[in-house]
Structure 1
Amino acid sequence: MLTMEDIIRDGHPTLRKVAAEVHMPPSEEDAQILRSLLEYVINSQNPEIAYQYGLRPGIGLAAPQINVSKRMLAVHLTDDKGVLYSYALFNPKIISHSVEMAYLTSGEGCLSVDEPIPGYVPRYARITLKGINLDGEEIKLRLKGLPAICFQHEIDHLNGVMFYDHIDKQEPLKEIQGAIPIER
């Protein structure tokens, strides 16, 4: 089981690397790593397990965050309508996105960043992505709102990008013109 001790922190060189594609079919080791990423985000949202093991709650985790530079991520969250998005994907790729932007009014956080970094992070309001699940099936997802933002945050990790790279350094809390503000 992954704990906070397995998660590397901001400044670690792996977080700035472009992660390698996972060869299909995946090795048992890669499949186990991907399962453990999903298990972490699910466990971290369970107050008893999170308290017992000192887990910071998260809605997504990418393999580079546990010092594995491979294109794998897991997301576990519900949208504003209560729909559950629980996915563990190999080689996820955004295949299309809206022109319209969105941002979380609360800003974004990251399990690899210990301190809060205030600021709005511009993201595409809607994305379509493809990836391979643990059963080897290609999954295609059309996402908007929090799920779209979360997947973009995790895919950034696969490309060596941190959320705060997107924040306007001069005016971090300046509203993003024409973007949809999303409450969380």
Structure 2
Amino acid sequence: MAWSLFQGRSLLRSRPDSRLDTERELRAALDNRLLLLLFGARRCPRCREFEPRLRRFWSRLTDPVGQEQLGLVYLGQDRCEQEHLRYLRDMPRTWLALPYGDRLGRELQDRFGVSELPSVVVLAPSGAVLVPNAVREIRDLGISCFQNWREAAELLDRNFQEREDFQSFPRRSLTEPLRRLKYRLREDEEEEEEEEEQKE
């Protein structure tokens, strides 16, 4: 699960004295959502240029419906704690941030191959990487990219479920799993086919 990246850590809200530090709070804020990991720095000119666009993108998507489907964690690459705290004060109140100096930020930067700032890594609720850097998508497509991400996440989840379903059926051919995916056959339909084959 994507939220489990931050298990055992504290995340900050826009007010530095407001923290999420229990598993229950983290789950409530991040579980079962598309998660955006924003790698940026206040000193970075490209980050300052991109941020207003990201804020508009966020505000258009976080109506009461979208807010339940999307989460954002800022992983600051700031040089000093004062820069980081200034960013926290200015960020939207629904964003979360890793505290300054937490080594997890660097670990996640390495894990997801972040090589430039700003970078927005999009994770499915399962933790799978949907987009390694969505900055260009957000700039070019605006909020329509959210629908693409949601569909990709649903497809990933559905494929995992279908793969589990295949294990309970004896296979008749090597292509049967593909056929099931393509035509979404149900057990009842298969039984009818088998009965017809036996009659012939």
- Normalised to the residue count of structure 1, the TM-score between the two structures is 0.25
Larger Rg: 2
- Normalised to the residue count of structure 2, the TM-score between the two structures is 0.24
Q: Which has the higher strand share?
A: 1
